[in-house]
Amino acid sequence: MSKPFFAGIEPVKYRGPDADPLSYRYYDKDRLVLGKRMEDHLRAAVCYWHSFAWPGSDVFGAGTFDRPWFSGAPLEAALVKLDAAFEFFEKLGLPFFTFHDRDVAPEGANAAETTANLDRVIDAMEQKMAATGVKLLWGTANLFSHPRYMSGAATNPDPEVFAYAAAQVKKAMDVTLRLDGANYVLWGGREGYETLLNTDLKREMDQLGRFLSLVAEYKHKIGFKGLLLIEPKPKEPTKHQYDFDTATVYGFLQRYGLEKEYKVNIEANHAILSGHSFQHEVMVALATGTFGSIDMNRGDYLLGWDTDQFHNDVSELALVLATIIQGGGFTSGGMNFDAKLRRQSIDPADLFHGHIGGMDTMARGLLYAEKLINEKTIESHIQKRYAGWETPLGKDILAGKRSLDDLAALVAEKKLDPKPRSGQQELLENLVNRTF
């Protein structure tokens, strides 16, 4: 065990609205909200990649973070990183973490060595999990960093790359099962194209469909009980990604007969990048029965890429959490911080500030969601707006009991002349704002 990396930082506790910056002001994990503990509503997770694997580099400059695990022999460094990560998880006091295979262990000289490296770290991780009680929300495979995946993983023009990706996912699923992970995620960062001039789009979609079928088959074979989750994103790093948004993913799954096998992991800023709001993506997932989990972050109004900042918009969270809770809440999913520090935030304490602020934003959002739900602010208006569909006419139409001829006859006979009614958007916006 290496010496503590976050020495001097005490475990983070809830201390109320006037607390110091290294305490929770709103996230009081045992507080009951709508009959359930805050911790159980939010199921928050820290991600390994942004907080421990990313060195603070950007396309113009080198890493800015001075962390002991960025130097030395790769496998030993991975174990030093593991110590720091679990020290952080434990001090932060959140129930879950998430990781990619390559975040936690280095690639070796060949596939066998890479697998052995991963096994070595997973042995140590299993002990850490047992000692701290921190659980795995989901595992995943990194199918986008290594040059072998530059032209895609499942959608690569070379079937040997497909095979390599399949082997990697099989191993990452085995590891997730071994660690009792609650879910398994697939984000297709390179499953798209840069130019149509070199791309057989139909073939690539069939390849991806095949890959997802293999993963679902394997899940059942090994008896993994968690959800398989696809994480939609429209672009970046590829110019276009096949998992564009939730609606596209749902259509894709249906086309390959997989709509019962997968749900979605919605990332807040991926929603924005696809031209939707975060709440829209959650609504579409709930409406299609594919809601699974959330990657929590935000973008920047002025930038068109995945800035992965810590979220800080309480009112957005309130509406999203109200939508999630009214849709039944999480089953095995949760709120994963897919968020990273800014490159200039180089102090170890900055990692705490990012996560503490994120948790407090979620907790405040949850308290407002409770109010919105209890006061039926939105719900009662929506019910009223659609009340006509509860009448015999509305029900018969939806049950398929009225043809176009029937409806035309009805309009003629009753001289129907429906009158427009206000959508009351401004009133509703005011009612919601008054909640805060």
What residues are annotated to the active site? Answer: 100, 103
Name which of ligand XLS, Ni ion, none residue 140 binds, using a CB cut-off of 5 to 8 Å depending on partner kind.
Answer: ligand XLS
The single residue among 96, 162, 187, 352 that binds ligand XLS, judged by CB under 6 A, is 187
Please tell me the distance from the alpha carbon of residue 281 to that of residue 276, in angstroms, as a whole number: 7
Among 213-221, 279-287, 288-296, 412-420, the segment contacting Ni ion (CB under 5 A)? 288-296
Contact predicate 338/295, CB 8 Å:
yes
Residue 101, interface with ligand XLS (CB under 6 A)?
no
Query: Residue 43's closest CA among 131, 122, 130, 136?
Result: 136
Sequence-separated (6 or more) residues with CB below 8 Å from residue 225: none
Please identify which residue in the block is written with the tokens 């990313």. 54
**Of residues 28 and 231, the one with the C-beta less far from ligand XLS:** 231
103, 338, 360, 370: which one contacts Ni ion (CB under 5 A)?
338
Please say which residue, 83 or 338, places its beta carbon nearer to Ni ion.
338
Q: Whose CA is closest to 256, among 199, 286, 215, 195?
A: 215
Indicate which of Ni ion, ligand XLS, none lies near residue 83 (CB less than 5 to 8 Å, by partner kind).
none
Q: Which of 146, 103, 101, 131 is nearest to 119 (CA)?
A: 101
Contacts with 306 (C-beta within 8 Å, 6 or more apart), sequence order:
233, 236, 269, 270, 273, 299
To ligand XLS, the closest distance from the beta carbon of 323 in angstroms equals 21
Of 47 and 284, CB closest to Ni ion: 47
Whole-angstrom CA distances from 184 to 138, 253, 355, 387 are 5, 16, 23, 40
**Ramachandran sector of residue 29 (left: φ over 0; alpha: ψ -120 to 50; beta: rest):** alpha
Q: Which is nearer to Ni ion, 191 or 295 (CB)?
A: 295
Pick the binder of ligand XLS from 281, 306, 360, 370 (CB under 6 A): 306
Is 191 a binder of ligand XLS (CB under 6 A)?
no
Q: Is 233 in the site for ligand XLS (CB under 6 A)?
A: yes
Choice from 28, 39, 103, 231 touching ligand XLS (CB under 6 A):
231
Q: Are 233 and 274 spatial neighbours (Cβ–Cβ below 8 Å)?
A: yes
Q: Shortest approach of Ni ion to residue 214 CB, angstroms?
A: 22
Q: Rounded CA gap, 139 and 185, in Å? A: 6
- C-alpha–C-alpha distance, residues 81 and 294, integer Å: 25
Cβ 305 vs Cβ 236: under 8 Å:
yes
Task: State CA 298 to chain mean position distance.
Answer: 12
Closest contact distance (angstroms) between CB of 270 and ligand XLS is 7
Footprint of ligand XLS on 104-163 (CB under 6 A): 140
Could you tell me the smallest distance in angstroms from the CB atom of residue 272 to Ni ion?
A: 11
What is residue 50's DSSP assignment? Answer: I
How many CA atoms lie within 13 Å of 7's alpha carbon, on the beta-carbon side? 4
Would you say 33 or 141 has its CB closer to ligand XLS? 141
Question: What is the nearest approach in angstroms of Ni ion to the Cβ of residue 373?
Answer: 27
Q: Tell the smallest beta-carbon distance from residue 362 to Ni ion (Å).
A: 16
CA distance 229 to 140: 10
Single residue of 267, 281, 360, 370 touching Ni ion by CB under 5 A: 267
| 233/311 with CB nearer ligand XLS | 233
The answer to whether 155 and 208 are in contact (CB under 8 A) is: yes
Residue number, 26 or 65, with CB nearest to ligand XLS? 65
> Which residue minimizes CB distance to ligand XLS?
187
Residues 278-297 that bind ligand XLS (CB under 6 A): 295
Can you tell me the distance from the alpha carbon of 126 to that of 267, in angstroms, rounded to the nearest whole number? 27
**262 burial type by CB count under 10 A (0-12 exposed, 13-18 middle, 19+ buried):** buried
Q: Which option in ligand XLS, Ni ion, none does residue 29 bind, with CB closer than 5 to 8 A by kind?
A: none
Q: How far is the CB of 224 from Ni ion (least distance, A)?
A: 20
- Nearest CB to ligand XLS, comparing residues 29 and 340: 340
Q: How far is the CB of 234 from ligand XLS (least distance, A)?
A: 11
Map residues 289-308 to x or -, x wherever contact with Ni ion holds by CB under 5 A.
------x----------x--
Residues binding ligand XLS: what is the number (CB under 6 A)? 10
Q: What's the CA gap between 222 and 238, in Å, rounded? A: 32
Residues within the interface to ligand XLS (CB under 6 A):
100, 140, 185, 187, 231, 233, 267, 295, 306, 338
Residues within the interface to Ni ion (CB under 5 A):
267, 295, 306, 338
